[in-house]
Structure 1
Amino acid sequence: MTITSGKLRNRVVLLRKVRTRDANGGFQTNWAPVGDPIAAQVEGISGNESIIAQALQGVSFYRILLRYRPDITDADQLSYGTLTLNIRSAVDPDGRRRETLILADTGSPQKVA
């Protein structure tokens, strides 16, 4: 499967945990953007409802395809429009270092700490 630039119509921002010193001398962990927005193909796969924090919430699943990025892991997140997507897997589907396939969801956010 070859990625053509016409398929990469969406823009996502890679988010990574960063630790910053707070006013009390301790550290605070937040999500921060890594680099510029990335051209991607974003497809909604499915959705369902889950009990998160003792409340019924909708969860949507997404398949994101982008040019090969070896630095993306399941500890990262993506920002897509108003959505924050938790990366569940990021793989090179054919091992040729041409593309990265990401499966992500809007479910329970990953812990920041």
Structure 2
Amino acid sequence: MKSGQLNRRVIVQRATSVSDGAGGQVREWPEIGRPWVKASLWSTGRGAGGGQSAVADVMQDNQAFVIRMRPRDIATGDRIVLDGLNYRVRAVVDPNGRRRELQVSIELEVPENA
């Protein structure tokens, strides 16, 4: 992947549990990185092409993207902040097994109180 294709900056966050000071735990999302990525809006139709079929089974009907990025520490369940919106990482795929590029499917998080 050429660096010129990586045209958007995102924030990667990972959930941690910390003490709330009253004997309970609260979830926080500290930042673990700010990589450059190429983001493509996910087509909800199956067989979208472009290598996206590898992650099709985990996508649902809400707003979703596939981002391409250089390999780094990212896992299912992490959060990506893209254009000020929170997305949950649904799948991480190494399409050719060479760790040169990762395809990460992300899905818009819906607030629990919505």
The answer for the alignment partner of 2:71 in structure 1 is 68
Give unpaired runs (5+ residues) of structure 1. Answer: 48-57
- Stretches of 4+ moved more than 3 A in 1? 107-110
Structure 1's 68 and 109: CA in aligned 2 closer, same or farther, altered over 3 A? Answer: farther
**Who is 1:42 aligned against?**
39
What SS does the aligned partner of 2:4 have? helix
Same amino acid, percent of matched pairs = 30
Query: How far off its partner does 1:109 sit?
Result: 6.0
Aligned equivalent of 2:58: none
Task: After TM superposition, give the deviation of residue 22 of structure 1 in Å.
Answer: 1.2
Q: How many residues align?
A: 97
Return the TM-score normalized by structure 2.
0.75
**CA distance, structure 2, for counterparts of residue 34 and residue 4 of structure 1:** 23
Give the Cα separation in 1 of the matches to 2:68 and 2:42: 13
Name the structure with the higher helix share: 2
> 1:24-72: CA deviations, max 9, x gaps?
132211222113x11100111236xxxxxxxxxx821101000012x21
Query: What is the TM-score with the length of structure 1 in the denominator?
Result: 0.76
Amino acid at match of 1:10: R
In the alignment, does 2:85 pair up with 1:87? no
Structure 2, unmatched stretches of 5+, are 45-60
- The question of whether the paired residues in 2 share the 8 Å contact of 1:86 and 1:109 is answered with no
Partner of 2:14: 16
3-state secondary structure, aligned to 1:68: coil
- What's the CA shift for 1:108? 4.0
Q: Distance in 2 between the 1:29 and 1:61 partners?
A: 24
RMSD, aligned CA: 2.2
**Aligned equivalent of 2:49:** none
Separation in 1 of the partners of 2:77 and 2:90? Answer: 8
Larger strand proportion of the pair: 1
